[in-house]
Amino acid sequence: MDNIKSYVQHHKDRFINELIELLKIPSVSADPAYSQDVIDTATAVKQSLEKAGCDFVEICDTPGYPIVYGEKTIDPNLPTVLVYGHYDVQPPDPMDLWTSPPFEPVIKKTEIHPEGAIFARGSCDDKGQMYMHVKALEYMVQSNTLPCNVKFMIEGEEEVGSKSLSWFVERNQEKLKNDVILISDTGMISNQQPSITTGLRGLSYVEVEVTGPNRDLHSGLYGGAVANPINVLAKMIASLHDENNHITIPGFYDNVQELSTEERAEMAKAPFNLENYKKALDLNDVYGEKGYVTNERNSIRPTLDVNGIWGGYTGEGAKTVIASKAYAKISMRLVPNQDWQEITELFTKHFESIAPAGVTVKVKPHHGGQGYVTPIDSIGYQAANKAYTETFGVPAIPVRSGGSIPIVALFEKELKSKTILMGFGLDSDAIHSPNEHFGIFNYLKGIETIPLFYKYFVELFKK
Amino acid sequence: MDNIKSYVQHHKDRFINELIELLKIPSVSADPAYSQDVIDTATAVKQSLEKAGCDFVEICDTPGYPIVYGEKTIDPNLPTVLVYGHYDVQPPDPMDLWTSPPFEPVIKKTEIHPEGAIFARGSCDDKGQMYMHVKALEYMVQSNTLPCNVKFMIEGEEEVGSKSLSWFVERNQEKLKNDVILISDTGMISNQQPSITTGLRGLSYVEVEVTGPNRDLHSGLYGGAVANPINVLAKMIASLHDENNHITIPGFYDNVQELSTEERAEMAKAPFNLENYKKALDLNDVYGEKGYVTNERNSIRPTLDVNGIWGGYTGEGAKTVIASKAYAKISMRLVPNQDWQEITELFTKHFESIAPAGVTVKVKPHHGGQGYVTPIDSIGYQAANKAYTETFGVPAIPVRSGGSIPIVALFEKELKSKTILMGFGLDSDAIHSPNEHFGIFNYLKGIETIPLFYKYFVELFKK
């Protein structure tokens, strides 16, 4: 049996085509219109795990979308790796900005991906990265090199808050028992410089509704005489940041862990070019909290962003109306030690308290999750670093990511084990955006690197 | 031939049914999807004027929607009344708030309209009020009591800024020559207390676009590090009013005419009950510019309202995205002496100047118009007052309205004649809102009152 490198070379076309088939199913968990597709995707994942060599695979019902669970047990005395991933994807809109349809995957070469990248919603986040683990298992089973037991838990609600996953994990602690949790749902610095995400931000996501008059009004007859819910919502949102872009919610920063000067110096070593960053986004300047640099603002600092806003007349032309209601979706990224439920309460209390007379305000919590930090002295981190070093030729750099995988904190709490975030995507892969893509190089490199993690993890575990 | 009262009684069912047919055509000028309906409505209006007894009616092409012109000349030496109205209507959305479809008129009784009201988009603004003049003409022709010449000019772009009308008026000053302009596109205080609108606010309507990053971004990876166009737009909108709800645009108030204490005392005499006003709108309080009461805030003071706002993810569920762009439609109501073009420039300059680094801003002027005041000592005003006094049993009260009929100022400039605003609608008729309606009482009362205006106007004119 050939080694992983040649195995990947030999089967890469099939690996790519299998992923493309999976990407064709529009598993958008946020929109009920796609519910059957989400369920079909679960079935497809189940079949892929069976083919790859799991002894046992099942689709587990939950209050929401099902969770695909699979396992292969070699020897109960050996350690167990739990692989987590998600088969649901973000909504594709705005559709008109996609250069090819989001659910008709195509391979295109880009400057960063000269070997080509698969363009499709979910190609990187997370179908592509999840499927690397399925193909890595296939290799280890075929080549009889699987050094330990493995469990898969692939969910369908990651993009909408993993509600059913927490429900499932709380009820299946024995079944999910493991020695380390392995996730590929993050990125790395570049195709030349691997990195391991050691920190994640938490999340609190809410929707707010501001109601003024009980019906839409003519802005000529009523303009200036009643509170306009849109103007009021704008004022309330604006007041959530001060002139230094600090968040003004009382108590918001109380539990924020301030990093030491040393830690910040360590972070600053990660390669970063502000000019390229601005150029890539067509920005004349960056923007953010005073006293912190870009790489700190999006990783070690909590933030508050409006993710959507709507109200009044948004059609073609002009309508002189004062809307009865205005809405916004607002999310806060949190750092370790900030409790997302507490922050949600602080936000709600504050937002309701700043509503002026003339309007009523409703805050509806959507979902959330805690922040998380992985110690770099854990054997899981070391095994991952050795694996990257072998396949990329350079050691990985530990980085704090601004993103959130709320369930990582849940795993630590419920399953008492550490999570290793082996990401193979790039920031430029446009996840959550039109034209999301995943490099062929990254996909295959992931399949190649993962078996080495198993190898080194078991070695270090036995010591 | 019976007098107007009995004529209306005898023909009222037909009058109502004719209006209902006109209301069935969805002539929404703001939305190109309805363009054929707008044109069909022009044809229907043309036919109604022919039936009513005009000698000559034509559909005049313009760069936009056509203008229906009609006339009946009795004697060139007699004065001429020019009737203006519009056959286009506001967009009906939000559709789900209509209790019956906007273009399927139904008659329902309400507390304020015990004799029933016609519920349909355009029933009051302006098809219903415009059609009163057509039926009044029918009576005067049938009863041979038309005391002067009459011209009709009914346009199809009033709800989107009357661009083609100004084009038409500038080119047809001879054709449109008149001694007074009569318009029913405003309201009155109540069915027991008629009023004549003597002042109108001007309007400047713009659309703004704020662009941040060149694509939608993941709010976890970029949140806090780049300017979020929605947060920025909210901040910019909020900054347009100070803590006293004064508008902060430099120079905005420079030409505003301050009313004397006497004039404000005169205004305060108009019957108004703040508790009922709040109750009717389900408001716990009113809101507006410090130092002015509700009836001043919506009439003699300029205002700035956001009429629509949108950006980011507005679908079901949650999407953690930083939008590339955010938009708002903003309108300013102006008072006499404020020039709408100048205000539009001041807004544009100011709005662009307050854009922070990290975003670019575009301001697109939509349309606008000047404010206007009618002198109450003009014979037109006196004739209207005598007509109301005769049909309602009480004299009309002069009021300043917050609404805008930009073309009134245009008429004075181009046609050198005064406009009389004989409105028969009520503020509670929900124009520009779901469930717009027009009282049967008001509709018939209008048809009854208009011929008296002609009678008294000609009498006073001859003096």
Global ipTM: 0.73
Q: Which residues contact B442 (CB under 8 A, 6 or more apart)?
A: B113, B124, B191, B424, B425, B426
Q: How confident is the model at residue B358 (pLDDT cuts 50, 70, 90)?
A: very high
Q: Which residues contact A181 (CB under 8 A, 6 or more apart)?
A: A81, A82, A83, A84, A408, A411, A415, A417, A418, A419, A420
B312–A311 C-beta distance less than 8 A: no
Tokens representing A410? 């849940």
Question: Which of B221, B282, B295 best tests the A interface by mutation, with the highest count of A CBs <10 A?
Answer: B221
Q: How far A20 CA sits from the closest chain B CA (Å)?
A: 23
Domains A3-200+371-462 and A202-256+302-369 share a fold: no
* Cβ atoms of residues A336 and A348 within 8 Å: no
Q: Mention the CATH class of domain A3-200+371-462.
A: alpha beta
Question: Which of A99, A204, A219 best tests the B interface by mutation, with the highest count of B CBs <10 A?
Answer: A219
Q: What is the pTM of this model?
A: 0.74
Closest partner residue to A331 among B93, B219, B432, by Cβ? B219
Q: What is the mean pLDDT of residues B309-326?
A: 93
Q: What is the mean pLDDT of residues B374-389?
A: 92
Q: What is the mean pLDDT of residues B183-188?
A: 94
A221–B401 C-beta distance less than 8 A: yes
pLDDT of residue A1: 42
pLDDT of residue A323: 96
Closest chain A residue to the Cα of B159, Cα to Cα? A319
pLDDT of residue B154: 98
Q: How far A284 CA sits from the closest chain B CA (Å)?
A: 5
The answer to whether residue A242 scores a pLDDT higher than 60 is: yes
- Coil, strand or helix: which one is A96? helix
Domain definitions of chain A by residue range? 3-200+371-462, 202-256+302-369
Q: What is the mean pLDDT of residues A79-104?
A: 96
Q: How many CB atoms lie within 10 A of CB B263?
A: 13
For residue A426, which of A435, A414, A438, A418 has the smallest C-alpha distance?
Answer: A438
Tens of pLDDT along B279-302? 999 999 999 999 999 989 998 899
- Tell me the backbone φ, ψ of residue B378, rounded to 5 degrees: -70, 155
The answer to whether residue B1 scores a pLDDT higher than 50 is: no
Tens of pLDDT along A377-418? 899 999 999 999 999 999 998 888 777 777 888 898 899 999
CB pairs under 8 A between A and B: 369
B358–A316 C-beta distance less than 8 A: no
Q: How far A75 CA sits from the closest chain B CA (Å)?
A: 40
The answer to whether residue A214 scores a pLDDT higher than 50 is: yes
- Coil, strand or helix: which one is A77? coil
Q: How far A72 CA sits from the closest chain B CA (Å)?
A: 34
Which B-chain residues 99-158 have CB contacts (< 8 A) with chain A?
none
Q: What is the CATH number of domain B202-256+302-369?
A: 3.30.70.360
**Interaxial angle between packed helices B127-142 and B440-462, expressed in degrees from 0 to 180 and rounded to the nearest 10:** 60
The answer to whether residue A278 scores a pLDDT higher than 50 is: yes
Question: Which of B95, B160, B164, B218 best tests the A interface by mutation, with the highest count of A CBs <10 A?
Answer: B218
Q: How confident is the model at residue B437 (pLDDT cuts 50, 70, 90)?
A: very high
The answer to whether residue A453 scores a pLDDT higher than 50 is: yes
User: Taking all residues of chain B, what is their mean pLDDT, rounded to a whole number?
Assistant: 94
Q: What is the mean pLDDT of residues A294-306?
A: 93
More confident residue, B32 or A266: B32
